Amino acid sequence: MTTNATHLTHHLYPTIIAGGMGSRLWPRSRKSSPKQFLDLMGNGRSMLQEAYDRMTPLVPADHIYVITNREYVDMVRAQLPDVPAENIVGEPAARGSAAAIGLGAIHLLNRDPDAVMAVLTADHLIRRPDVLRDALVGGADLAQSGELITLGIRPTYPETGYGYIEMGDALGQFNGMEARRVRRFREKPDLATAQAFLEAGNFVWNSGMFVWRADVIMAQFQRFMPELHAALTGLQPALNGPDAAAAFDAFWMPLQGNVTIDYGVMEKADRVAVFPVDLGWHDIGSWAALLEVLPKDADGNVAHARHLHHDSSNVLVFSKDRLIATIGLEDMIVVDTGDVVLVMPADRAQDVKKIIQALQKRGLNEYLE
Amino acid sequence: MTTNATHLTHHLYPTIIAGGMGSRLWPRSRKSSPKQFLDLMGNGRSMLQEAYDRMTPLVPADHIYVITNREYVDMVRAQLPDVPAENIVGEPAARGSAAAIGLGAIHLLNRDPDAVMAVLTADHLIRRPDVLRDALVGGADLAQSGELITLGIRPTYPETGYGYIEMGDALGQFNGMEARRVRRFREKPDLATAQAFLEAGNFVWNSGMFVWRADVIMAQFQRFMPELHAALTGLQPALNGPDAAAAFDAFWMPLQGNVTIDYGVMEKADRVAVFPVDLGWHDIGSWAALLEVLPKDADGNVAHARHLHHDSSNVLVFSKDRLIATIGLEDMIVVDTGDVVLVMPADRAQDVKKIIQALQKRGLNEYLE
């Protein structure tokens, strides 16, 4: 952080979006305890706590906000005891990431008209949190001119599961971080397109992390999502008062659709910038991703369990209290929760959703909750 | 059974040897409950109970004997309530199959000097029990002439895991069953030898099932295993009396080695016959064997558990109370007992013993008991 950076954090509010389900990490990630609340890394801290830990060197705990489902508010409070209760915002129903961000924005504006909002995720591993902090401070600087800033991850291989951002002209350095104009957002590409992006050199992965002034994002809602903007301004005066519940019923619940911030705002807005950053960023979106990022033991396995094996390598085993014995396995996932055992090759980890669908179809909700 | 067969069963005593550990079926088969006591087929009857059920159409329950380890006597009594308690014989320590058979023989001789002993196993699936019963009656007939009769399984493929019996001249028909002279016992062959055996046509698998007069097998012990014979004759008068424990201490415990009946007697004796039989016989010696013999569901899997799968076939899953979810598995075994989850490809099922060895080495006896 540069020496003049401190004044930029006075109005900076890291806002962690932690409402998702993380169903591809079933059977550990469950409705009652989604992945952001799990100690997936086995280091004693949940993904949410790690997202919080990354911000405490930068801002005081009372600057940190969490937007989550109403049913997870108590869990967030328990996991982040130093965050004031009023900073933990529960949506009574999910209405998409644009609405979640808007809900955060009106909370911040009620507190600080000059609030700079850093939208953060709770489901990524970030090995270089110092770079993230530098980028947020740089973003807070650039945001003063009304820019919408997105953090872009420099791609290391032609991933087809992420959205990409095509970068244009340089906008200068902010807190030592390079900023570029965003030329275009690109949907998840096919492999040939992803390879072309990688070779072109001016494409980054869309991380889902953003920095902007809260009033600026509200102005974008007014322009591109007027119904959402109207609901938010209706809600804003009642937020922490006795009429909050009635206001949510009146303004929030009728919101239609689950519009993402990318589709609702970013792809349409004029002044969008990107900081291409090297965060040591990993999407912990699947068991295969966990197997890839977690440290291996001497035999090349990830054992978050008592694991006894013969001739097994690159196996991820998880169990709270059972012995997992494996023979002749390679590139496999074995997850034991109290009530479920899941076994699959790592390269089939995306198909966990097929099991979720089958459970839903058969009404076996006990294994989802 | 022929009409004149009934008189042959008056002195016939099926004697089930049920003392083994069945460690290749770990983690279900455990010291406290070895495989013969498990309902491996999922039909509500244990292997031992199935061995018993095969005999009840032939002889009354009080003709059926079980030789087992002393620690399993209560379990045998509980599983076979119609077998008199005195027919359930517990060895205070394992001394090999020859000794176990000898212990059965002296029990029978104390009851019936004309006893014909049918030595049976409790760890094989027999799909044609009627053929087994016919062979035992035929064996009882032939045994009157002093023959030692072994049941040979007609091989269907060149198995290298079994011993073979080379058959010689025909000895005639007994209860409609063909008897042949045994030319030679052959150890487990290599594949080329097994193929040659199969092509030769006069080789059968050694099933470990035998029929002989109890006094005749005792005479063989006297000739080929005089120490065992001396111990048995020392033990015999005390068997069911107040001095039984002292007699076992004096005569049984000092026995050396774990000599098999094949090595100790069969390979050396003169008058050995074989009934080549087609019993629908399957050795349930491993998880792979179970996967092979158990009926498949519509998706080609063996699910002794609540099994939800996506794109999985020829998978055996076992769990008492957990959901087993599998994705993209083929030819795999997943076994969940309360405290252990074992996962392996079916073709590695022999390596369960490697896990057992590792558990023993690390003193993790709780998973073996």
Q: Among A324, A352, A367, select the one facing B341 at the smallest CB separation.
A: A324
A44-51: average pLDDT: 96
pLDDT above 80 for B287: yes
B339-351: average pLDDT: 96
Identity of the amino acid at B29: S
pLDDT above 80 for A288: yes
Residue A2's pLDDT is what?
Answer: 45
* Model pTM score: 0.88
| A155 DSSP 8-state letter | P
Q: What is the dihedral of CA A9, A13, A14, A17, to 10 degrees?
A: -170
Name chain B contacts of A352, Cβ cutoff 8 Å: 327
pLDDT grade for A116, boundaries at 50, 70 and 90: very high
Is there a contact between B319 and A341 if contact means CB atoms under 8 Å apart? yes
A5-14, A348-357, B93-102, B286-295: segment of lowest average pLDDT: A5-14
Rounded Cα distance between A71 and B355, Å, is 44
Q: How many other C-beta atoms are found inside a 10 Å radius of the C-beta of residue A314?
A: 16
A202-218: average pLDDT: 97
Rounded Cα distance between B63 and B104, Å, is 12
Interface mutation target, options B24, B318, B323, chain A, most CBs of A under 10 Å: B323
Classified as helix, coil or strand, A103 is helix
pLDDT grade for B23, boundaries at 50, 70 and 90: confident
By residue count, chain B amounts to: 369
Classified as helix, coil or strand, A181 is strand
Name the helix (H) or strand (E) containing B171.
Answer: strand B164-174
Is there a contact between A355 and B328 if contact means CB atoms under 8 Å apart? no
Rounded Cα distance between A66 and A79, Å, is 11
Residue A5's pLDDT is what?
Answer: 63
B72-86: average pLDDT: 97
Name chain B contacts of A345, Cβ cutoff 8 Å: 327-329
Residue B22's pLDDT is what?
Answer: 81
Name chain B contacts of A308, Cβ cutoff 8 Å: 355, 358-359, 362, 364
Rounded Cα distance between A59 and A107, Å, is 17
Rounded Cα distance between B311 and B297, Å, is 14
pLDDT grade for A67, boundaries at 50, 70 and 90: very high
pLDDT grade for B7, boundaries at 50, 70 and 90: confident
B306-320: average pLDDT: 96
pLDDT above 50 for B2: no
pLDDT above 80 for A91: yes
pLDDT above 90 for A285: no
pLDDT grade for A1, boundaries at 50, 70 and 90: very low
Q: Among B325, B329, B352, select the one facing A327 at the smallest CB separation.
A: B352
Residue B326 forms contact with A (CB below 8 Å): yes
pLDDT grade for B352, boundaries at 50, 70 and 90: very high
Residue B334 forms contact with A (CB below 8 Å): yes
How many angstroms separate the CA of residue B41 from the nearest CA in chain A?
Answer: 22
Residue A87 forms contact with B (CB below 8 Å): no
pLDDT in tens, A96-113: 999 999 999 999 999 999
Residue B342 forms contact with A (CB below 8 Å): yes
Residue A244 forms contact with B (CB below 8 Å): no
Is there a contact between B340 and A323 if contact means CB atoms under 8 Å apart? yes
Q: Among B336, B351, B362, select the one facing A327 at the smallest CB separation.
A: B351
Distances from the Cα of B368 to the Cαs of A303, A320, B31, B36, B164, in angstroms? 21, 20, 6, 16, 32
Name chain B contacts of A340, Cβ cutoff 8 Å: 322-325
Nearest residue of A to residue B339, measured between CA atoms: A322
Residue B1's pLDDT is what?
Answer: 42
Rounded Cα distance between A232 and A226, Å, is 10
Beta-ladder partners of A116: A12, A213
Q: What is the mean pLDDT of chain B?
A: 95
Residue with tokens 């099922």: B349
Residue with tokens 């910038």: A273
Q: How many other C-beta atoms are found inside a 10 Å radius of the C-beta of residue A347?
A: 12
| Of the candidates B336, B324, B38, B365, the residue with the CA atom closest to the CA atom of residue A325 | B336
pLDDT above 70 for B5: no
Task: Name the packing angle between helices B47-55 and B129-143 (round to 10°).
Answer: 60
Q: What is the mean pLDDT of chain A?
A: 95
Residue B73 forms contact with A (CB below 8 Å): no
Residue with tokens 């997936």: A40
Rounded Cα distance between B208 and B261, Å, is 9
pLDDT grade for B259, boundaries at 50, 70 and 90: very high
Residue A328 forms contact with B (CB below 8 Å): yes
| Of the candidates A66, A67, A65, A69, the residue with the CA atom closest to the CA atom of residue A92 | A69
Residue A364 forms contact with B (CB below 8 Å): yes
For chain A, list the domains and their CATH numbers: 3-283 (3.90.550.10), 287-367 (no CATH)
